[in-house]
Structure 1
Amino acid sequence: MGALLRGLVGLILSSVLVTSALAATAPVGGYTVVKAYPHDTAAFTEGLFYRDGFIFESTGLKGRSFIRKWNLETGVSEQERIVDSRYFGEGVVDWKNRLYALTWTDEIGIIYDIDSFERIGEFSYPGEGWALTRDDKRIMMSDGTSFIRFLDPETLKETGRIEVTDHGVPVRNLNELEWVKGELLANVWQTTRIARIDIKTGNVVGWIELAGLLKDAGVTGTQDDVLNGIAYDAVSDRLFVTGKLWPKLYEIKLAPAN
């Protein structure tokens, strides 16, 4: 009886600790919309970044995946590469004169020339590929778990990884990524939030709540049309967000967290 009682007490204490950890979350901040831009409603957005006045975007779904460079103001495509129909396209990032693009479950990444969009090579990685971003020294990759992988930008070999947590609770389903002012921003798949991550520790230092964008975009966010896509214009300090199959891409200004 004593052992049983101790077991029950231990179970209750464990439950209390888990509940407390889940209840403790990083501060949540909002946003204001600065401007809305057109976005292709056929684009199942997986990767997004801004470079030299253009948006670069990669999309998913087999037979419908592409990489595109498009005009921010008009939404008109300037250049496009259809991804081999065998692959479900995922995230994309630039490095020097190259584009690195992931595939979802094939464990293959494709290298393109950034000017011509011609395929010039490939690389491999274990597990799933979800999203990519970079700072000036390394590439960061999400794989749908709570971990962020670090890749050497020249060899594309993994050099390490870190787990993302909010008050000790792993944050899973990390998706599209963007490096912004020394923080890693990450969409969390099937939620309306972006995590602000201290990449040195893996700690979530804050959340950006974007639920209000769904109504304006005319989407539910409950099917395929989930929030996904973050891009940053470092020169003009502009932050852009969108979602899969959304009709708009939004420039937003972040509000202080509560």
Structure 2
Amino acid sequence: MFIMTFLKSSRNIASIVLLSLSAAITGCGEDKPAAEKAPVAETTPASKPVQIIPHQVVATYTHDTSLFTEGFLFHEGKLYESTGSPEEDPELRSVIGTIALPSGVFTRKVEIDKTKYFGEGISFLNGKMYQLTYKNKMGFIYDAKTFAQTGTFNYDNAEGWGLTTDGTQLIMSDGTDALTFIDPATMKPSRQIKVMEAGVPLPYLNELEYINGYIYANVWMTNYIVKINPKDGQVEGRLDLNPVAYDARSKSQRAEVMNGIAFDPASQKVYVTGKMWPKIYEIKFAF
């Protein structure tokens, strides 16, 4: 877990790559987080070929480079972002707020105590906003209009990473190859799927977005976004966003890993960004 914690907040890209390779080699025999005790699909369908999904960048917008992106989404026409606060960057905060386009001006709505919590993914459902935390095995619940905290919830997953919703349930990633579906009435897991790509488990699932019946997930430490069938966990497509990430890093030395997918259902537009990136990229592809 030391390697995972270091990597999640490190700003040294070269060190990240080396340690990530080490983790991939040594981590295969580690116990899975407790969250995987939730019901898992009993059958694994035959692996399907994974299609590369073509895309194009149609516009760029300013992004505040002080935002260490953990959650990224649209709600009622507004773009929201939640952030984390790595210890080695004392100026960074765990906040939630709105982003104005095209200016990129960030307006804070919520801030949690960074000495106790590291903010992670967020989602809106049934008049509430939900926020995960990284290591505390708990999340916060807010009123979606006033942003006043109305409660907390707990989960068994060892870590909290990404959060989205299919309109009925919350869907959570925890850095493994599992996605946990949470019943908002009880805030307990209703089921869990293992994500497979071409017959191989796909770990490091990070920020999530639900788009027209599919879950799209950033794969941490890569510049790829995968399209996941929520029924069986099969990866059916992959977006290669390396050129986008390279462009972001060419514009700012602060830019870290890609992390952030936001879908505006009203306009059917998709936006991506990354931790401390200088830009938000509007991309177009076939859903």
Could you tell me which of 122, 127, 144 is aligned with 2:175? Answer: 144
How many correspondences in the alignment?
Answer: 233
CA deviations on 1:92-124 (whole Å, 9 max, x unpaired) are 000122110000010010011122221111000
SS of corresponding position for 2:147: coil
- Quick check: 1:142–1:175 contact (8 Å CA) kept in 2? yes
Q: CA deviation at 1:25?
A: 5.8
Whether contact under 8 Å (1:221, 1:227) holds in the other structure is no
Q: Highest CA radius of gyration, 1 or 2?
A: 1
Taking structure 1 as the reference length, the TM-score comes to 0.85
Report the more deviating stretch, 48-57 or 241-250: 48-57
Between the aligned partners of 1:59 and 1:196, the Cα distance in structure 2 is 23
Q: Displacement of 1:224 after TM fit?
A: 6.9
1:41 corresponds to 2:65: yes
The answer to whether residue 110 in structure 2 is matched with residue 84 in structure 1 is: no
- Between 185-194 and 224-233, report the one with greater CA deviation: 224-233
- Partner residue, 1:210: 241
Asked if the contact 1:101–1:109 (Cα under 8 Å) also holds between the matched residues in 2, the reply is yes
Encode CA deviations 1:27-83: one digit per residue, 9 max, x unaligned: 222311111111110110001111222111110125611111221222223442111
- TM-fit CA distance, 1:89: 0.6
- The alignment partner of 1:155 has SS state of coil
User: Aligned ranges for residues 1-258 of structure 1 at < 5 Å?
Assistant: 26-61=50-85, 64-85=93-114, 86-126=116-156, 127-219=158-250, 225-254=256-285
Whether the aligned pair in 2 keeps the contact of 1:214 and 1:221 (CA below 8 Å) is no
Question: 1:222, CA displacement in angstroms?
Answer: 11
Task: Answer yes or no: is the 8 Å Cα contact 2:255–2:274 preserved in 1.
Answer: no
Counterpart contact for 2:254–2:277, Cα < 8 Å: no
Structure 1 pair 25/190, CA: closer, same or farther in 2 (3 Å)?
farther
Q: Indicate how the Cα distance of structure 1 residues 255 and 215 shifts in structure 2: closer, same or farther if over 3 A, else same.
A: farther
Contact 1:32–1:255 (Cα < 8 Å) also in 2: no
Higher mean alpha-carbon deviation, 197-206 vs 60-69, is at 60-69
Flag structure 1 segments of 5+ consecutive residues without an equivalent: 1-23
Question: What amino acid sits opposite 2:58 in the alignment?
Answer: V
Mind listing any 5+ residue stretches in structure 2 that lack a counterpart?
1-47, 87-91
Q: TM-score, normalised by structure 2?
A: 0.76
Bigger strand fraction: 1
1:8: which partner in 2?
none
CA contact (8 A) 2:64 2:106 kept: no
CA shift digits 1:114-135 (9 cap, x unpaired): 2222111100001211011001
Aligned-pair identity (%): 42
- 1:221, distance to aligned residue in structure 2 (A): 11
Structure 2 CA distance for partners of 1:220 and 1:128, relative to 1, 3 Å? farther
Paired with 1:119 and 1:145, the residues of 2 have a C-alpha distance of 29
Q: What secondary structure is seen at the aligned counterpart in 1 of 2:222?
A: coil
